[in-house]
């Protein structure tokens, strides 16, 4: 396959002008779009409707080009929160058949999957973990990837609103943990989805994960999972990215794991993996979390004690500034809440770059 990646600035959640311009120029065939990741400027919490607004705007524009059914098949992952220097933008992934004139080479490939819808009481449950694991495996197979060559798995997952709890079964597994707190349900949804990735990639054995593991045993995690919860969907949308020798893409991906929010060395390791100059980086994708221990580099932090601003918002601002400072570009994708995504207080970081030795 041939995968292309485009990063497009946005002036607001409903701004599709940049995408439309690339379509009009013939640089993007809208029928080839398989996934769009976005950073929107809301609060990133339960009531962040900029995510749904952005998806609605994109679907409306693309439906006019390729039809509503095709537009809805695209993976939309809108991550709310552009605190600090983070700049709103879209990252558009296209996939087309390999061109016969281009020889296969080591490069970027991708796979996608939509799971079934989840009931409110299933959020954070083992059923969710294993359903996501099956979905990730399906996406890996679609991409033609080996698990060890997967560098990033991005998932958009649902949450539980107060309205949805009316139809929930309060005696079901995990219900007591998530049904009483919409914000907590975001963490459980992210955590269960990340554990599904860990199972799919063989990072942890399925029998090592129980219902009590989710959002409790943070020593169990995936090194490549990035999950983001939102009110705008009820299923999980999965995007798997990695490198394969069958690619004809001009792009490559690498990753590392940040041990804490200030871990610039991990960012440099991820950049080193792609073996390309910094000016060839298309985007960096990272997770952010306020260390649950209350300390960072043996110094006390107060992010978890602030009742005015969510700790996920503070963490995004910190990691966003750290990543942006390394590549001198604030238009990076940093998502808050890294339950079971990297070690406590840290998280995966992935880099996509264009190969300078290729013109196609």
| Cα 135 to Cα 133: distance, rounded to the nearest angstrom | 5
Q: Are strands 2-9 and 89-96 parallel, antiparallel or unpaired?
A: antiparallel
Burial of 158 (0-12, 13-18, 19+ CB in 10 A): buried
Q: What tokens appear for 266 in the block?
A: 């991990």
Residue 89 in contact with residue 7, Cβ under 8 Å? Answer: yes
| Cα 350 → chain centroid | 10
DSSP state for residue 284 in the 8-state scheme: E
Quickly count: other Cβ atoms within 10 Å of residue 325's Cβ: 13
| Cα 184 to Cα 160: distance, rounded to the nearest angstrom | 9
Q: Which of 125, 222, 228, 256 is catalytic?
A: 228
Residue 16 in contact with residue 65, Cβ under 8 Å? Answer: no
Is residue 228 among the annotated active site residues? Answer: yes
| Cα 336 to Cα 324: distance, rounded to the nearest angstrom | 16
| Cα 251 to Cα 260: distance, rounded to the nearest angstrom | 28
The distance between the two most distant Cα atoms of the chain, rounded to a whole number of Å, is 59
Residue 221 in contact with residue 198, Cβ under 8 Å? Answer: yes
Q: Which of 137, 156, 184, 287 is catalytic?
A: 156
Is residue 310 among the annotated active site residues? Answer: no
Active site residues: 156, 228
């Amino acid at each position: 396959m041939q995968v292309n990646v485009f990063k497009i600035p946005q002036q607001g959640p409903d701004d599709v002008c940049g995408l439309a311009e690339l379509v009009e120029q013939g640089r993007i065939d809208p029928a080839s779009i398989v996934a769009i990741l976005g950073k929107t400027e809301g609060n990133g919490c339960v009531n962040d409707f900029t995510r749904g607004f952005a998806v609605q705007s994109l679907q409306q524009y693309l439906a006019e080009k390729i039809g509503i059914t095709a537009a809805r098949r695209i993976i939309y992952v809108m991550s709310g929160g552009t605190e600090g220097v983070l700049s709103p933008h879209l990252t558009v992934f296209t996939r087309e058949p390999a061109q016969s004139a281009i020889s296969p080479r080591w490069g970027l490939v991708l796979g996608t999957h939509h799971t079934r819808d989840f009931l409110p009481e299933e959020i954070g449950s083992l059923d969710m973990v294993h359903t996501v694991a099956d979905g990730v495996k399906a996406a890996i197979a679609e991409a033609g990837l080996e698990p060890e060559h997967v560098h990033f798995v991005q998932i958009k997952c649902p949450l539980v609103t107060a309205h949805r709890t009316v139809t929930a079964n309060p005696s079901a597994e995990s219900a007591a943990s998530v049904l009483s707190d919409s914000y907590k349900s975001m963490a459980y949804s992210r955590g269960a989805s990340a554990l599904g990735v860990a199972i799919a990639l063989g990072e942890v054995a399925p029998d090592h994960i129980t219902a009590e593991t989710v959002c409790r045993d943070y020593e169990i995690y995936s090194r490549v999972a990035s999950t983001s919860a939102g009110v705008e969907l009820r299923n999980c949308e999965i995007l798997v990215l990695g490198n394969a020798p069958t690619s004809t893409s001009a792009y490559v991906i690498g990753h590392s794991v940040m041990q804490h929010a200030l871990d610039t060395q991990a960012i440099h390791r991820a950049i080193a993996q792609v073996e390309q100059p910094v000016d060839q980086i298309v985007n960096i994708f990272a997770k952010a979390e306020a260390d649950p221990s209350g300390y960072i580099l043996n110094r006390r932090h107060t992010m978890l004690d602030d009742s005015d601003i969510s700790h996920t918002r503070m963490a995004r601002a910190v990691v966003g500034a750290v990543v942006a400072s390394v590549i001198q570009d604030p238009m990076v994708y940093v998502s808050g809440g890294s339950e079971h995504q990297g070690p406590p207080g840290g998280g995966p970081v992935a880099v996509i770059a264009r190969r300078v030795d290729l013109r196609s």
